[in-house]
Chain A
Amino acid sequence: MRKAGWGLKTAAALTLLFLHIPILFVFLYAFTTDEASFRFPPPGYTTEWFSLAFSRTDIRAAVSLSLRVALVATMVALVLGTLVAAAVWRTRFFGRNALSLFIILPIALPGIITGIALRSAINLADLSFSFWTLVVGHATFCVAITYNNVIARMRRTSPNILEASMDLGARGWQTFRHVLFPQLAPAMLVGGMLAFALSFDEIIVTTFTAGNQQTLPIWIFSSLVRPRNRPVTNVVAVFVVLITLVPIILAQRYSRRSDEA
Protein backbone atom coordinates (compact mmCIF):
# COMPACT_ATOMS: atom_id res chain seq x y z
CA MET A 1 0.00 0.00 0.00
CA ARG A 2 1.24 3.46 -0.88
CA LYS A 3 2.03 5.84 1.98
CA ALA A 4 -0.04 8.98 2.39
CA GLY A 5 1.65 12.12 1.12
CA TRP A 6 2.65 14.77 3.64
CA GLY A 7 0.15 17.22 2.18
CA LEU A 8 -2.75 14.87 2.89
CA LYS A 9 -1.42 14.01 6.34
CA THR A 10 -1.10 17.69 7.26
CA ALA A 11 -4.57 18.51 6.01
CA ALA A 12 -6.11 15.56 7.89
CA ALA A 13 -4.23 16.50 11.06
CA LEU A 14 -5.36 20.14 10.78
CA THR A 15 -8.99 19.04 10.47
CA LEU A 16 -8.60 16.89 13.60
CA LEU A 17 -7.04 19.77 15.52
CA PHE A 18 -9.84 22.08 14.37
CA LEU A 19 -12.35 19.57 15.77
CA HIS A 20 -10.70 19.20 19.16
CA ILE A 21 -8.60 22.20 20.16
CA PRO A 22 -11.48 24.65 20.83
CA ILE A 23 -13.06 22.60 23.62
CA LEU A 24 -9.73 22.59 25.47
CA PHE A 25 -10.06 26.33 26.00
CA VAL A 26 -13.17 25.74 28.09
CA PHE A 27 -11.05 23.57 30.38
CA LEU A 28 -8.32 26.21 30.52
CA TYR A 29 -10.72 29.04 31.34
CA ALA A 30 -12.34 27.02 34.15
CA PHE A 31 -9.12 27.68 36.09
CA THR A 32 -8.56 31.34 35.28
CA THR A 33 -8.53 33.95 38.06
CA ASP A 34 -9.96 36.47 35.61
CA GLU A 35 -13.63 37.02 36.46
CA ALA A 36 -14.76 39.59 33.96
CA SER A 37 -13.15 39.02 30.57
CA PHE A 38 -11.85 36.28 28.31
CA ARG A 39 -8.24 37.45 28.54
CA PHE A 40 -5.61 35.18 27.03
CA PRO A 41 -3.28 34.04 28.50
CA PRO A 42 -5.16 33.89 31.82
CA PRO A 43 -3.55 36.16 34.41
CA GLY A 44 -3.47 33.38 37.02
CA TYR A 45 -4.89 30.00 37.91
CA THR A 46 -7.22 28.86 40.67
CA THR A 47 -9.56 25.97 41.54
CA GLU A 48 -11.92 28.05 43.66
CA TRP A 49 -14.65 28.16 40.99
CA PHE A 50 -15.15 24.42 41.29
CA SER A 51 -16.15 24.52 44.95
CA LEU A 52 -18.22 27.63 44.27
CA ALA A 53 -20.08 25.87 41.43
CA PHE A 54 -20.77 22.78 43.54
CA SER A 55 -22.20 24.86 46.37
CA ARG A 56 -24.70 26.67 44.13
CA THR A 57 -28.23 25.36 44.67
CA ASP A 58 -29.52 26.61 41.29
CA ILE A 59 -26.79 24.62 39.50
CA ARG A 60 -27.48 21.53 41.57
CA ALA A 61 -31.18 21.77 40.80
CA ALA A 62 -30.44 22.14 37.08
CA VAL A 63 -28.07 19.15 37.11
CA SER A 64 -30.64 17.08 38.93
CA LEU A 65 -33.44 18.02 36.51
CA SER A 66 -31.25 17.27 33.46
CA LEU A 67 -30.22 13.90 34.87
CA ARG A 68 -33.80 12.91 35.69
CA VAL A 69 -35.13 14.00 32.28
CA ALA A 70 -32.30 12.18 30.49
CA LEU A 71 -32.84 8.99 32.49
CA VAL A 72 -36.61 8.83 32.09
CA ALA A 73 -36.49 9.89 28.42
CA THR A 74 -33.86 7.22 27.73
CA MET A 75 -36.01 4.55 29.39
CA VAL A 76 -39.09 5.59 27.42
CA ALA A 77 -37.07 5.71 24.19
CA LEU A 78 -35.64 2.25 24.86
CA VAL A 79 -39.09 0.74 25.34
CA LEU A 80 -40.59 2.50 22.30
CA GLY A 81 -37.57 1.89 20.06
CA THR A 82 -37.38 -1.79 20.96
CA LEU A 83 -41.12 -2.31 20.43
CA VAL A 84 -41.00 -0.74 16.98
CA ALA A 85 -37.84 -2.67 16.07
CA ALA A 86 -39.53 -5.92 17.13
CA ALA A 87 -42.56 -5.09 14.99
CA VAL A 88 -40.51 -4.10 11.94
CA TRP A 89 -38.20 -7.10 12.28
CA ARG A 90 -39.12 -9.56 9.55
CA THR A 91 -42.72 -8.39 9.32
CA ARG A 92 -44.11 -6.44 6.42
CA PHE A 93 -47.23 -4.46 7.13
CA PHE A 94 -49.19 -1.53 5.81
CA GLY A 95 -47.56 1.75 6.87
CA ARG A 96 -44.20 0.18 7.72
CA ASN A 97 -42.24 2.74 5.70
CA ALA A 98 -44.34 5.59 7.05
CA LEU A 99 -43.57 4.41 10.58
CA SER A 100 -39.81 4.35 10.00
CA LEU A 101 -40.11 7.85 8.52
CA PHE A 102 -41.87 9.02 11.69
CA ILE A 103 -39.02 7.64 13.78
CA ILE A 104 -36.30 9.42 11.80
CA LEU A 105 -38.21 12.69 11.34
CA PRO A 106 -37.54 14.18 14.81
CA ILE A 107 -33.78 14.13 14.17
CA ALA A 108 -33.91 14.66 10.39
CA LEU A 109 -35.84 17.91 10.71
CA PRO A 110 -34.02 20.80 12.37
CA GLY A 111 -34.54 20.60 16.15
CA ILE A 112 -36.42 23.85 16.13
CA ILE A 113 -39.24 22.30 14.08
CA THR A 114 -39.74 19.47 16.57
CA GLY A 115 -39.54 22.02 19.36
CA ILE A 116 -42.00 24.52 17.94
CA ALA A 117 -44.40 21.71 16.92
CA LEU A 118 -44.52 20.33 20.46
CA ARG A 119 -44.80 23.89 21.82
CA SER A 120 -47.73 24.55 19.49
CA ALA A 121 -49.47 21.31 20.51
CA ILE A 122 -48.99 22.08 24.21
CA ASN A 123 -50.51 25.51 23.54
CA LEU A 124 -53.48 24.21 21.54
CA ALA A 125 -54.24 21.49 24.09
CA ASP A 126 -53.99 24.08 26.91
CA LEU A 127 -51.47 21.92 28.77
CA SER A 128 -49.01 23.41 31.20
CA PHE A 129 -45.27 22.82 31.00
CA SER A 130 -43.92 20.18 33.36
CA PHE A 131 -41.27 17.52 33.83
CA TRP A 132 -43.36 15.34 31.53
CA THR A 133 -43.47 17.79 28.62
CA LEU A 134 -39.65 17.73 28.75
CA VAL A 135 -39.61 13.94 28.83
CA VAL A 136 -42.00 13.71 25.88
CA GLY A 137 -39.82 16.07 23.82
CA HIS A 138 -36.58 14.28 24.64
CA ALA A 139 -37.94 10.76 24.24
CA THR A 140 -39.31 11.70 20.81
CA PHE A 141 -35.86 12.41 19.36
CA CYS A 142 -34.13 9.68 21.41
CA VAL A 143 -36.33 6.96 19.87
CA ALA A 144 -34.44 7.33 16.59
CA ILE A 145 -31.18 6.33 18.29
CA THR A 146 -32.47 3.41 20.35
CA TYR A 147 -34.49 2.09 17.41
CA ASN A 148 -31.50 2.23 15.05
CA ASN A 149 -29.25 0.34 17.45
CA VAL A 150 -31.79 -2.35 18.30
CA ILE A 151 -32.94 -2.95 14.70
CA ALA A 152 -29.32 -3.27 13.55
CA ARG A 153 -28.80 -5.98 16.15
CA MET A 154 -32.07 -7.73 15.27
CA ARG A 155 -31.15 -7.90 11.60
CA ARG A 156 -28.15 -10.01 12.62
CA THR A 157 -30.24 -12.27 14.87
CA SER A 158 -31.97 -15.31 13.42
CA PRO A 159 -35.66 -15.48 14.38
CA ASN A 160 -35.27 -19.29 14.46
CA ILE A 161 -33.88 -19.06 17.98
CA LEU A 162 -37.32 -17.94 19.18
CA GLU A 163 -38.98 -20.96 17.57
CA ALA A 164 -36.28 -23.24 18.96
CA SER A 165 -36.86 -21.82 22.42
CA MET A 166 -40.60 -22.33 22.21
CA ASP A 167 -40.22 -25.80 20.75
CA LEU A 168 -38.12 -26.65 23.79
CA GLY A 169 -41.06 -25.62 25.92
CA ALA A 170 -40.11 -22.13 27.13
CA ARG A 171 -42.95 -19.77 27.91
CA GLY A 172 -43.21 -16.46 26.10
CA TRP A 173 -41.67 -14.61 29.02
CA GLN A 174 -38.89 -17.18 29.41
CA THR A 175 -38.07 -16.90 25.71
CA PHE A 176 -37.82 -13.15 26.03
CA ARG A 177 -35.85 -13.25 29.27
CA HIS A 178 -33.35 -15.97 28.38
CA VAL A 179 -33.13 -15.89 24.58
CA LEU A 180 -34.13 -12.61 22.97
CA PHE A 181 -33.11 -10.14 25.68
CA PRO A 182 -29.48 -11.33 25.99
CA GLN A 183 -29.20 -10.89 22.20
CA LEU A 184 -30.54 -7.35 22.29
CA ALA A 185 -29.04 -6.15 25.56
CA PRO A 186 -25.72 -4.87 24.14
CA ALA A 187 -27.52 -2.86 21.44
CA MET A 188 -29.97 -1.49 23.99
CA LEU A 189 -27.12 -0.48 26.25
CA VAL A 190 -25.28 1.32 23.45
CA GLY A 191 -28.46 3.01 22.19
CA GLY A 192 -29.39 3.97 25.73
CA MET A 193 -26.01 5.55 26.44
CA LEU A 194 -26.04 7.57 23.24
CA ALA A 195 -29.63 8.67 23.87
CA PHE A 196 -28.65 9.72 27.40
CA ALA A 197 -25.72 11.78 26.15
CA LEU A 198 -27.89 13.42 23.49
CA SER A 199 -30.67 14.21 25.94
CA PHE A 200 -28.42 15.51 28.71
CA ASP A 201 -27.08 18.47 26.75
CA GLU A 202 -29.97 19.05 24.34
CA ILE A 203 -31.08 22.67 24.30
CA ILE A 204 -33.31 23.37 21.32
CA VAL A 205 -36.27 21.02 21.85
CA THR A 206 -35.76 21.59 25.59
CA THR A 207 -36.27 25.34 25.30
CA PHE A 208 -39.67 24.87 23.68
CA THR A 209 -40.95 22.25 26.13
CA ALA A 210 -39.52 23.56 29.40
CA GLY A 211 -41.67 26.58 30.24
CA ASN A 212 -39.70 28.18 33.08
CA GLN A 213 -37.95 25.02 34.27
CA GLN A 214 -34.15 25.14 34.11
CA THR A 215 -32.25 22.19 32.75
CA LEU A 216 -28.47 22.44 32.80
CA PRO A 217 -28.14 23.51 29.13
CA ILE A 218 -30.83 26.15 29.67
CA TRP A 219 -28.93 27.38 32.72
CA ILE A 220 -25.73 27.65 30.66
CA PHE A 221 -27.49 29.33 27.75
CA SER A 222 -29.14 31.94 29.94
CA SER A 223 -25.86 32.76 31.64
CA LEU A 224 -24.24 33.17 28.22
CA VAL A 225 -26.92 35.50 26.93
CA ARG A 226 -26.88 37.63 30.08
CA PRO A 227 -23.26 37.30 31.17
CA ARG A 228 -23.12 36.73 34.89
CA ASN A 229 -20.98 34.51 37.10
CA ARG A 230 -18.74 33.73 34.16
CA PRO A 231 -16.16 31.60 36.01
CA VAL A 232 -18.90 29.33 37.36
CA THR A 233 -20.31 28.94 33.83
CA ASN A 234 -16.91 27.64 32.68
CA VAL A 235 -16.90 25.02 35.43
CA VAL A 236 -20.42 23.89 34.55
CA ALA A 237 -19.38 23.64 30.88
CA VAL A 238 -16.48 21.38 31.84
CA PHE A 239 -18.90 19.24 33.83
CA VAL A 240 -21.26 18.87 30.84
CA VAL A 241 -18.38 17.85 28.55
CA LEU A 242 -17.16 15.19 30.97
CA ILE A 243 -20.58 13.75 31.73
CA THR A 244 -21.54 13.37 28.05
CA LEU A 245 -18.09 12.12 27.06
CA VAL A 246 -18.21 9.02 29.27
CA PRO A 247 -21.30 7.29 27.81
CA ILE A 248 -20.18 8.04 24.24
CA ILE A 249 -16.73 6.52 24.67
CA LEU A 250 -18.18 3.54 26.52
CA ALA A 251 -20.85 3.03 23.84
CA GLN A 252 -18.27 3.17 21.06
CA ARG A 253 -15.91 0.69 22.75
CA TYR A 254 -18.73 -1.62 23.69
CA SER A 255 -20.31 -1.66 20.23
CA ARG A 256 -16.93 -2.38 18.64
CA ARG A 257 -16.33 -5.27 21.01
CA SER A 258 -19.74 -6.82 20.45
CA ASP A 259 -19.31 -6.41 16.68
CA GLU A 260 -16.06 -8.31 16.80
CA ALA A 261 -17.49 -11.07 19.02
Chain B
Amino acid sequence: MTDLSSKPPGHNRWATFLYGRPRVRLALLLAIPVVWLVGVYGGSLASLLVQSFYRLNPFSGTLERVFSFDTWAAVFTDANVAVMIRTVTMAAAVTAASVVIAFPLAYYMARYATSRMKALLVLAVLVPLWSSYLVRVYSWKLILAADGIINWFVERIGADAVLQALLDAPGIGGPSLSISIFGQFVVFTYIWLPYMVLPIHASLERVPRSLLEASADLGAQPATTFRKVTWPMAIPGVAAGSIFTFSLTLGDYIIPTIIGDSSPFIGLAIYTQQGVAGNLPLAAAFSFVPIAVMTVYLTVARRFGAFEAL
Protein backbone atom coordinates (compact mmCIF):
# COMPACT_ATOMS: atom_id res chain seq x y z
CA MET B 1 0.00 0.00 0.00
CA THR B 2 1.30 3.45 -0.79
CA ASP B 3 1.84 5.74 2.13
CA LEU B 4 0.14 8.90 1.02
CA SER B 5 1.42 11.02 3.89
CA SER B 6 5.04 10.60 2.79
CA LYS B 7 4.32 12.29 -0.56
CA PRO B 8 5.41 15.91 -0.84
CA PRO B 9 2.67 18.36 0.21
CA GLY B 10 2.20 19.51 -3.36
CA HIS B 11 0.75 16.19 -4.57
CA ASN B 12 -2.83 17.34 -4.15
CA ARG B 13 -2.24 20.61 -5.92
CA TRP B 14 -5.01 20.21 -8.47
CA ALA B 15 -7.67 19.08 -6.05
CA THR B 16 -6.75 21.80 -3.57
CA PHE B 17 -6.65 24.40 -6.31
CA LEU B 18 -10.11 23.43 -7.50
CA TYR B 19 -11.49 23.10 -4.00
CA GLY B 20 -10.63 26.73 -3.28
CA ARG B 21 -12.00 27.99 -6.60
CA PRO B 22 -15.59 26.86 -7.10
CA ARG B 23 -15.93 29.10 -10.18
CA VAL B 24 -13.11 27.34 -12.01
CA ARG B 25 -14.49 23.95 -10.99
CA LEU B 26 -17.90 24.98 -12.25
CA ALA B 27 -16.50 26.21 -15.56
CA LEU B 28 -14.66 22.93 -16.11
CA LEU B 29 -17.74 20.86 -15.31
CA LEU B 30 -20.10 22.90 -17.43
CA ALA B 31 -18.01 23.76 -20.49
CA ILE B 32 -18.96 20.75 -22.62
CA PRO B 33 -22.61 20.36 -21.49
CA VAL B 34 -23.30 24.06 -22.08
CA VAL B 35 -21.77 23.94 -25.54
CA TRP B 36 -23.95 20.91 -26.29
CA LEU B 37 -27.25 21.95 -24.76
CA VAL B 38 -27.24 25.68 -25.25
CA GLY B 39 -24.99 25.77 -28.30
CA VAL B 40 -26.15 22.78 -30.33
CA TYR B 41 -29.71 22.34 -29.06
CA GLY B 42 -30.48 25.99 -28.31
CA GLY B 43 -28.79 26.94 -31.56
CA SER B 44 -30.97 24.44 -33.42
CA LEU B 45 -34.12 25.94 -31.93
CA ALA B 46 -32.87 29.39 -32.96
CA SER B 47 -32.14 28.11 -36.46
CA LEU B 48 -35.77 27.02 -36.62
CA LEU B 49 -36.82 30.63 -36.16
CA VAL B 50 -34.32 31.82 -38.78
CA GLN B 51 -35.41 29.09 -41.18
CA SER B 52 -39.07 30.11 -40.84
CA PHE B 53 -38.26 33.53 -42.32
CA TYR B 54 -36.63 32.01 -45.39
CA ARG B 55 -38.82 30.91 -48.26
CA LEU B 56 -39.01 28.64 -51.22
CA ASN B 57 -38.88 30.34 -54.58
CA PRO B 58 -42.47 29.99 -55.81
CA PHE B 59 -41.31 29.15 -59.35
CA SER B 60 -38.16 27.08 -59.01
CA GLY B 61 -38.94 25.59 -55.57
CA THR B 62 -35.38 26.20 -54.39
CA LEU B 63 -34.59 27.53 -50.91
CA GLU B 64 -33.98 31.28 -50.85
CA ARG B 65 -32.07 32.48 -47.83
CA VAL B 66 -33.61 35.96 -47.75
CA PHE B 67 -35.74 37.52 -45.03
CA SER B 68 -39.42 37.31 -45.86
CA PHE B 69 -42.84 36.89 -44.27
CA ASP B 70 -44.13 34.74 -47.16
CA THR B 71 -43.67 31.47 -45.28
CA TRP B 72 -45.47 32.71 -42.19
CA ALA B 73 -48.36 33.89 -44.34
CA ALA B 74 -48.58 30.39 -45.80
CA VAL B 75 -48.96 28.87 -42.32
CA PHE B 76 -52.32 30.47 -41.65
CA THR B 77 -54.29 29.36 -44.69
CA ASP B 78 -57.81 28.01 -44.10
CA ALA B 79 -56.67 24.46 -44.74
CA ASN B 80 -53.89 24.73 -42.17
CA VAL B 81 -56.16 26.32 -39.58
CA ALA B 82 -58.50 23.35 -40.05
CA VAL B 83 -55.53 21.05 -39.36
CA MET B 84 -54.76 22.97 -36.16
CA ILE B 85 -58.36 22.78 -34.98
CA ARG B 86 -58.53 19.05 -35.73
CA THR B 87 -55.29 18.40 -33.84
CA VAL B 88 -56.23 20.45 -30.77
CA THR B 89 -59.67 18.79 -30.66
CA MET B 90 -58.06 15.34 -30.81
CA ALA B 91 -55.56 16.31 -28.10
CA ALA B 92 -58.40 17.51 -25.85
CA ALA B 93 -60.49 14.38 -26.44
CA VAL B 94 -57.50 12.10 -25.80
CA THR B 95 -56.68 13.99 -22.62
CA ALA B 96 -60.25 13.71 -21.31
CA ALA B 97 -60.44 9.99 -22.10
CA SER B 98 -57.05 9.39 -20.46
CA VAL B 99 -58.23 10.99 -17.21
CA VAL B 100 -61.33 8.78 -17.11
CA ILE B 101 -59.44 5.57 -17.89
CA ALA B 102 -56.34 6.31 -15.78
CA PHE B 103 -58.12 7.44 -12.63
CA PRO B 104 -59.46 4.10 -11.32
CA LEU B 105 -56.08 2.41 -11.70
CA ALA B 106 -54.20 5.33 -10.09
CA TYR B 107 -56.77 5.44 -7.28
CA TYR B 108 -56.50 1.72 -6.64
CA MET B 109 -52.69 1.92 -6.64
CA ALA B 110 -52.63 4.80 -4.18
CA ARG B 111 -55.32 3.65 -1.74
CA TYR B 112 -55.62 -0.12 -1.73
CA ALA B 113 -52.55 -1.83 -3.22
CA THR B 114 -50.04 -3.42 -0.84
CA SER B 115 -46.48 -2.18 -1.28
CA ARG B 116 -45.47 -5.29 -3.24
CA MET B 117 -48.51 -4.99 -5.46
CA LYS B 118 -47.88 -1.28 -5.91
CA ALA B 119 -44.31 -1.88 -7.11
CA LEU B 120 -45.64 -4.39 -9.62
CA LEU B 121 -48.36 -2.02 -10.85
CA VAL B 122 -45.89 0.86 -11.22
CA LEU B 123 -43.72 -1.42 -13.34
CA ALA B 124 -46.79 -2.42 -15.36
CA VAL B 125 -47.40 1.25 -16.15
CA LEU B 126 -43.73 2.13 -16.69
CA VAL B 127 -42.99 -0.59 -19.23
CA PRO B 128 -45.44 0.68 -21.86
CA LEU B 129 -44.35 4.26 -21.10
CA TRP B 130 -40.68 3.57 -21.83
CA SER B 131 -40.74 0.85 -24.45
CA SER B 132 -41.64 0.04 -28.00
CA TYR B 133 -43.68 3.11 -28.91
CA LEU B 134 -43.72 2.21 -32.59
CA VAL B 135 -44.56 -1.44 -32.02
CA ARG B 136 -47.39 -0.48 -29.69
CA VAL B 137 -48.90 1.69 -32.42
CA TYR B 138 -48.44 -1.15 -34.88
CA SER B 139 -50.22 -3.65 -32.61
CA TRP B 140 -53.44 -1.70 -33.20
CA LYS B 141 -53.05 -2.06 -36.93
CA LEU B 142 -53.45 -5.80 -36.31
CA ILE B 143 -56.33 -5.36 -33.87
CA LEU B 144 -58.39 -2.83 -35.82
CA ALA B 145 -57.89 -4.41 -39.27
CA ALA B 146 -61.06 -5.29 -41.17
CA ASP B 147 -60.31 -9.02 -40.75
CA GLY B 148 -58.75 -8.55 -37.29
CA ILE B 149 -59.79 -9.51 -33.77
CA ILE B 150 -62.30 -6.74 -33.14
CA ASN B 151 -64.35 -7.55 -36.20
CA TRP B 152 -64.09 -11.25 -35.42
CA PHE B 153 -65.35 -10.63 -31.90
CA VAL B 154 -68.10 -8.25 -32.99
CA GLU B 155 -69.38 -10.89 -35.44
CA ARG B 156 -69.33 -13.57 -32.74
CA ILE B 157 -71.51 -11.57 -30.39
CA GLY B 158 -73.68 -10.37 -33.25
CA ALA B 159 -73.02 -6.67 -32.72
CA ASP B 160 -72.30 -5.90 -36.39
CA ALA B 161 -75.01 -3.27 -36.44
CA VAL B 162 -73.43 -1.36 -33.54
CA LEU B 163 -70.02 -1.34 -35.22
CA GLN B 164 -71.56 -0.30 -38.54
CA ALA B 165 -73.39 2.57 -36.82
CA LEU B 166 -70.08 3.73 -35.32
CA LEU B 167 -68.31 3.58 -38.67
CA ASP B 168 -71.17 5.45 -40.36
CA ALA B 169 -71.17 8.20 -37.74
CA PRO B 170 -70.10 11.45 -39.41
CA GLY B 171 -66.84 12.95 -38.11
CA ILE B 172 -65.56 9.86 -36.31
CA GLY B 173 -66.28 6.99 -38.69
CA GLY B 174 -64.58 5.59 -41.78
CA PRO B 175 -64.56 2.56 -44.05
CA SER B 176 -63.08 0.35 -41.30
CA LEU B 177 -61.87 0.83 -37.74
CA SER B 178 -58.21 1.08 -38.72
CA ILE B 179 -58.98 3.88 -41.16
CA SER B 180 -61.41 5.78 -38.91
CA ILE B 181 -60.94 8.84 -36.70
CA PHE B 182 -62.41 6.81 -33.84
CA GLY B 183 -59.68 4.18 -34.24
CA GLN B 184 -57.10 6.94 -34.23
CA PHE B 185 -58.56 8.33 -31.00
CA VAL B 186 -58.37 4.89 -29.33
CA VAL B 187 -54.73 4.45 -30.32
CA PHE B 188 -53.70 7.94 -29.18
CA THR B 189 -55.37 7.27 -25.82
CA TYR B 190 -53.74 3.85 -25.51
CA ILE B 191 -50.27 5.21 -26.27
CA TRP B 192 -50.28 8.21 -23.90
CA LEU B 193 -52.32 6.67 -21.07
CA PRO B 194 -49.31 5.73 -18.86
CA TYR B 195 -48.28 9.40 -18.80
CA MET B 196 -51.60 10.16 -17.10
CA VAL B 197 -51.63 7.27 -14.59
CA LEU B 198 -48.33 8.10 -12.90
CA PRO B 199 -48.89 11.80 -12.00
CA ILE B 200 -52.45 11.09 -10.78
CA HIS B 201 -51.10 8.24 -8.67
CA ALA B 202 -48.39 10.50 -7.25
CA SER B 203 -50.86 13.22 -6.28
CA LEU B 204 -53.30 10.73 -4.71
CA GLU B 205 -50.42 9.29 -2.67
CA ARG B 206 -50.13 12.70 -1.05
CA VAL B 207 -53.73 12.71 0.23
CA PRO B 208 -53.38 11.93 3.96
CA ARG B 209 -55.61 9.10 5.13
CA SER B 210 -56.52 11.15 8.19
CA LEU B 211 -58.11 13.74 5.92
CA LEU B 212 -60.44 11.14 4.43
CA GLU B 213 -61.28 9.80 7.88
CA ALA B 214 -61.98 13.30 9.13
CA SER B 215 -64.34 13.84 6.22
CA ALA B 216 -66.18 10.58 7.01
CA ASP B 217 -66.29 11.44 10.74
CA LEU B 218 -67.91 14.72 9.88
CA GLY B 219 -70.67 12.78 8.16
CA ALA B 220 -69.70 12.95 4.49
CA GLN B 221 -70.84 10.07 2.27
CA PRO B 222 -67.97 8.40 0.31
CA ALA B 223 -69.16 10.18 -2.85
CA THR B 224 -69.07 13.55 -1.10
CA THR B 225 -65.60 12.84 0.29
CA PHE B 226 -64.45 12.00 -3.22
CA ARG B 227 -65.94 15.16 -4.70
CA LYS B 228 -64.85 17.57 -1.97
CA VAL B 229 -61.56 16.09 -0.76
CA THR B 230 -59.99 13.49 -3.04
CA TRP B 231 -60.73 15.05 -6.44
CA PRO B 232 -59.55 18.59 -5.57
CA MET B 233 -56.28 17.12 -4.30
CA ALA B 234 -55.90 15.02 -7.46
CA ILE B 235 -56.28 18.02 -9.78
CA PRO B 236 -52.55 18.93 -9.82
CA GLY B 237 -51.79 15.35 -10.90
CA VAL B 238 -54.47 15.43 -13.58
CA ALA B 239 -53.10 18.75 -14.84
CA ALA B 240 -49.54 17.39 -14.87
CA GLY B 241 -50.61 14.27 -16.77
CA SER B 242 -52.62 16.34 -19.21
CA ILE B 243 -49.47 18.28 -20.17
CA PHE B 244 -48.02 15.04 -21.52
CA THR B 245 -51.14 13.67 -23.21
CA PHE B 246 -51.86 17.04 -24.79
CA SER B 247 -48.32 17.86 -25.90
CA LEU B 248 -47.56 14.38 -27.20
CA THR B 249 -50.78 14.23 -29.24
CA LEU B 250 -50.06 17.68 -30.64
CA GLY B 251 -46.68 16.73 -32.11
CA ASP B 252 -47.21 13.11 -33.11
CA TYR B 253 -47.17 12.10 -36.77
CA ILE B 254 -46.61 8.35 -36.47
CA ILE B 255 -50.13 7.46 -35.31
CA PRO B 256 -51.94 9.49 -38.02
CA THR B 257 -49.66 7.86 -40.61
CA ILE B 258 -50.37 4.29 -39.53
CA ILE B 259 -53.96 4.54 -38.26
CA GLY B 260 -56.79 6.69 -39.58
CA ASP B 261 -57.96 8.24 -42.82
CA SER B 262 -54.65 10.14 -43.38
CA SER B 263 -56.28 13.50 -42.76
CA PRO B 264 -53.42 15.71 -41.63
CA PHE B 265 -52.52 16.63 -38.05
CA ILE B 266 -50.00 19.31 -37.06
CA GLY B 267 -47.21 16.79 -36.63
CA LEU B 268 -47.98 15.12 -39.93
CA ALA B 269 -48.13 18.49 -41.70
CA ILE B 270 -44.65 19.42 -40.39
CA TYR B 271 -43.29 16.01 -41.35
CA THR B 272 -44.72 16.16 -44.86
CA GLN B 273 -43.54 19.74 -45.45
CA GLN B 274 -39.92 18.94 -44.57
CA GLY B 275 -39.88 15.55 -46.28
CA VAL B 276 -42.10 14.98 -49.29
CA ALA B 277 -42.68 18.66 -50.05
CA GLY B 278 -39.08 19.65 -49.27
CA ASN B 279 -40.28 22.94 -47.79
CA LEU B 280 -38.14 23.26 -44.69
CA PRO B 281 -39.06 26.93 -44.02
CA LEU B 282 -42.78 26.10 -43.92
CA ALA B 283 -42.13 23.09 -41.69
CA ALA B 284 -40.11 25.34 -39.36
CA ALA B 285 -42.81 28.01 -39.20
CA PHE B 286 -45.51 25.38 -38.68
CA SER B 287 -43.61 23.90 -35.74
CA PHE B 288 -44.14 27.14 -33.83
CA VAL B 289 -47.85 26.33 -33.72
CA PRO B 290 -47.48 23.47 -31.19
CA ILE B 291 -44.90 25.52 -29.29
CA ALA B 292 -47.40 28.40 -29.00
CA VAL B 293 -50.27 26.09 -28.04
CA MET B 294 -48.14 24.39 -25.39
CA THR B 295 -46.98 27.73 -23.98
CA VAL B 296 -50.61 28.72 -23.43
CA TYR B 297 -51.41 25.25 -22.10
CA LEU B 298 -48.51 25.28 -19.63
CA THR B 299 -49.54 28.70 -18.34
CA VAL B 300 -53.03 27.39 -17.61
CA ALA B 301 -51.80 24.06 -16.20
CA ARG B 302 -49.48 25.92 -13.85
CA ARG B 303 -52.49 27.64 -12.28
CA PHE B 304 -53.84 24.20 -11.37
CA GLY B 305 -50.61 23.27 -9.60
CA ALA B 306 -49.37 20.99 -12.38
CA PHE B 307 -45.71 21.91 -11.87
CA GLU B 308 -45.76 20.82 -8.24
CA ALA B 309 -47.12 17.41 -9.28
CA LEU B 310 -44.65 16.65 -12.10
Residues on A facing B (Cβ under 8 Å): 1, 3-4, 8-9, 11-12, 15-16, 18-20, 22-23, 25-26, 29, 37-41, 79-80, 83-84, 86-87, 91, 93, 99, 102-103, 105-106, 108-114, 116-121, 123-124, 136, 139-140, 143, 166, 168-172, 175, 194, 197-198, 201-204, 207-208, 217, 220-221, 224-225, 233, 237, 240-241, 244-245, 248-249, 252, 256
Answer whether A166 and B41 are a contact pair too, CB < 8 Å, given A110-B248, A112-B287, A244-B132: no
> Binding site of A, secondary structure by majority: helix, strand, loop or mixed?
helix
B228 to chain A, nearest CB (A): 18
Q: How far is the CB of B237 from chain A (nearest CB, A)?
A: 16
Q: Which of B7, B14, B51, B271 contacts A112 (CB 8 A)?
A: B271
**Alpha-carbon gap, A124 to B48, bound state (A):** 9
Task: State whether B133 touches A203 (Cβ < 8 A).
Answer: yes
Q: Which residues of A contact B38 (CB under 8 A)?
A: 99, 102
Please give 4 more A-B residue pairs, beta carbons under 8 A apart, in addition to A18-B190, A203-B134: A16-B121, A40-B147, A240-B135, A245-B127
Whether A23 pairs with B135 at a CB distance below 8 angstroms is yes
> Can you offer 10 A-B residue contacts whose CB atoms are under 8 A?
A15-B197, A40-B148, A40-B149, A84-B30, A99-B38, A109-B290, A114-B41, A120-B48, A121-B48, A166-B16
- Given contacts A19-B128, A201-B132, is CB(A112)–CB(B251) below 8 Å? yes
Q: CA–CA, A91 to B27, complex, Å?
A: 12
A11-B104, A116-B287, A117-B48 given as contacts; is B36 within 8 A of A224 (CB)?
no
Asked if A80 and B257 sit within 8 Å, CB to CB, the answer is no
Residues on A with beta carbons closer than 8 Å to the beta carbon of B102: 15
Number of B residues with CB within 8 Å of any CB on chain A = 91
Q: Interface code B187-213, partner A: CB below 8 Å = 1, 0 otherwise? A: 000100110010000000000000000
Chain B residue with minimal CB distance to A224? B258
- Option from B104, B134, B142, B152 in Cβ contact (under 8 Å) with A12: B104
- Shortest Cβ gap from B181 to chain A (Å): 19
Binds A, one of B75-83, B106-114, B158-166: B106-114
